Amino acid sequence: MADSCIEKIHEFNRVIWGGSDVKSDLFKRWCQGFSFSPVEYSALVQSTGGPCAIIATAQATIMYEVLFIRKQNLADITDVDNMDVLLSALLRIILLVSSDRQSHFFWFYWCDDDGLTGSESTTLDVKHAINDTNVCSEPLDPNINQLSECGFQTFISGLRCFKAETVDELRAVAFSLQPQIKSKYGVLCFLYSVLFTHGLQSLIKEMNGEMDALIDPIHGHASQCLINLLITGESTPYLFDGERDLGGFTLKGVSKQPKTGFLTFVEAMRYCEVGWFLKNPYYPVWILGSETHLTVLASPDMSLVSKNLKSEDNVSIPDIRKAEIEFDYLSPDQDTGGFIDSLNFRELLAKLKLSTGSLQINDLIARLDPEGLGIILKKDFLQFFFPEEMARRNAEVINFQLIHYNGLEHSNTDGRVRYSIGEARLIDPTEELVETYPVDRSPIQQCLATKWPTIRITWNKNRSPSLN
């Protein structure tokens, strides 16, 4: 292994793991291959907690690949063609993170034989690799349970990679290494492929001074930087749109509409704010975050997403969703956020920097509260300040199907990974005020309400799927 390659991998390890001293139990949890459920041929299985950022984003890409590129149903995928779909999804992620920054791509694999001597470089060009039949000719044992002899340094010493100059070369390498992708180091090798392709300097620059490692050294979970990289192609630690100034420091969030989005239960607990771009991806597929795990939500209904309705050049304009968030914060009714006290109206306008035009604020309050009840309904407020958005929303679909995926077997009924199917309905905000049945307060319901505040879902088997 060449000294330059050793140094580069060690530099990446500092960013990925925080150094070279990686806890053995944490590392073993990341030693997983890409494998599919025996009862749901398009659904990946996650053996243990840890690498959900890789597996969930791969699964999200599989779902939009099948539903919107191939225009098939997920049930159409068989155990014969699912590897082809997986490889296509992994290549899409590699292309996303390259984003013209690099003139080449990297694809890592692991080899424990003597195909390369200690004096040779670990980076091979594609022509050399294709002609070299000695390079890792024996497939690895994909059995996740056979990990007693594995260790972090063993993994690092066996890392090899191909450098491809074109997408066609990259595709040829990936398809030739299918057994590797299924092996116990498949997920880790793909992680290194993503990060090397993105580039160390780009990675550090986009992390914007973030000092935490990409993988938490205690719990083994991926940081938001890594999650954002896999979703948006940029390793920003923030979820908001565009840039924000904080005491002279510029914080960079998400800069454009991604192919797949991100929603999180943490926003429902009001610990963060997810911006418009992540809530409105190009395809109706979202990564769902809990405090400790990532799952995936998709819908076959393209009318759920908006294209280019928000300017990428001016992402700080208060949109209707931001208005709803601030309205809900001021509402005494934390279950529905359906109204605010009229005494809080001035504070709401100030937070959103909304103008009342020629109307005096007291006159506007009288218009929005004609009966003098001392409250302002959310629907009336939004209709006054956001008439176009409300008209568009009223024309949107109100009934749609949802498909939820959780790759952890123990989080699924009977311990086997299956999709959960739900029938969703968006109700009028005023309906919330007269609902007589209890509102579902499950974590997934609260998570989805950060995008669709009035969503109601009936899941198959009447069981809300788990976010954990």
If we measure between CA atoms, which residue out of 202, 299, 208, 203 comes closest to residue 250?
A: 208
219 classed as catalytic:
no
Question: 410 an active-site residue?
Answer: no
Instruction: Check pLDDT > 80 for residue 331.
Output: yes
Angle at 365 between CA 359 and CA 369, to 5 degrees: 135
Q: Residue 12 above 60 pLDDT?
A: yes
Identify any residues that bridge with 420 across adjacent strands, giving them in sequence order. Answer: 404
DSSP code, position 44: B
What is the average pLDDT score of the chain?
Answer: 85
User: 198, 221, 293, 404: which is the annotated catalytic residue?
Assistant: 293
Q: Which own/partner pairs from 369-374 qualify as long-range (CB within 8 Å, at least 24 positions apart)?
A: 369/342, 374/341, 374/342, 374/343
For residues 384-410, give the mean pLDDT. 85
Give tens-digit pLDDT for 124-139.
Answer: 555 554 444 344 444 4
Residue 333 has pLDDT above 50, yes or no: yes
| Range in 6-10, 164-168, 222-226, 285-289 the model is least confident about | 6-10
The number of angstroms, rounded, from the C-alpha of 444 to the middle of its chain's C-alpha atoms is: 15
For residue 375, the SS3 value is strand
SS3 label, residue 465? coil
- The segment with the largest mean pLDDT, out of 127-141, 431-445, 449-463, is 449-463
| Angle, CA of 101, 211 and 187, to the nearest 5° | 60
Question: What is the structure's pLDDT at 403?
Answer: 98
The values of phi and psi at residue 364, to 5°, are -70, -40
Looking at per-residue confidence, does 221 or 334 come out higher? 221
- In this prediction, residue 250 has a pLDDT band, given cuts at 50, 70 and 90, of confident
pLDDT digits (tens, 9 = 90+) for 67-82: 999 999 999 999 999 9
Rounded CA gap, 52 and 72, in Å?
A: 25
Which pLDDT does position 125 carry in this prediction?
A: 54
Q: Does pLDDT of 217 surpass 60?
A: yes
Checking if the pLDDT of 437 tops 70, the result is no
Nearest to residue 92, comparing CAs of 299, 258, 312, 295? 258
- Across the range 257-281, mean pLDDT stands at 93
Integer angstrom CA distances of residue 356 from 96, 247, 323, 327 = 43, 30, 15, 16
Q: Which residues lie closer than 8 Å to 467 by C-beta, 6 or more apart?
A: 265, 288, 289, 290, 293, 295, 406, 443, 444, 447
What per-residue confidence (pLDDT) applies to 139?
44
Percent of the chain with pLDDT over 90: 60
* Exposed e or buried b per residue across 79-89, where buried means at least 16 C-beta atoms within 10 angstroms of its C-beta: eeebeebbbbb
Per-residue pLDDT, averaged over 240-262, amounts to 89
Over 70: is that where the pLDDT of 378 sits? yes
CA 238 to chain CA centroid, Å, is 13
pTM for this predicted structure: 0.80
Residue 332 confidence class, pLDDT cut points 50, 70, 90: confident
| pLDDT reading at 425 higher than 70 | yes
pLDDT for the residue numbered 114: 47
| pLDDT of amino acid 325 | 77
Between residues 144 and 36, which one has the greater pLDDT? Answer: 36
Decide which of 127 and 274 is more confident.
Answer: 274
Mean pLDDT of 405-428: 93
What pLDDT band is residue 287 in, cutting at 50, 70 and 90?
very high
Sign of CA dihedral 68, 70, 76, 77: negative
| Domain locations along the chain | 3-209
> And the tokens for 159?
């890392």
Catalytic residue, candidates 52, 161, 225, 447? 52
Band (pLDDT 50/70/90 cuts) for residue 190 is very high
Query: In sequence order, what are the beta bridge partners of 251?
Result: 244
Position 413 pLDDT exceeds 90: no
| pLDDT band of 3, cuts 50, 70, 90 | very low
Q: Is the pLDDT of residue 376 over 80?
A: yes
**What is the average pLDDT across 145-149?**
44
Q: Which of 378, 391, 368 is nearest to 454 (CA)?
A: 378
Angle CA(448)–CA(219)–CA(184) in degrees, nearest 5? 95
Contact yes or no for 231/257 (Cβ under 8 A): no
pLDDT greater at residue 6 or residue 415? 415
CA–CA separation, 240 and 231 (whole Å): 14
Tell me the pLDDT tens digit for each residue of 77-109: 999 999 999 999 999 999 999 966 567 899 999
- Cβ density class 340-350: b for 16+ within 10 Å, e for less: bebebbeebbe
Amino acid making up residue 146: Q
For the CA atoms of the chain, what is the radius of gyration? 24
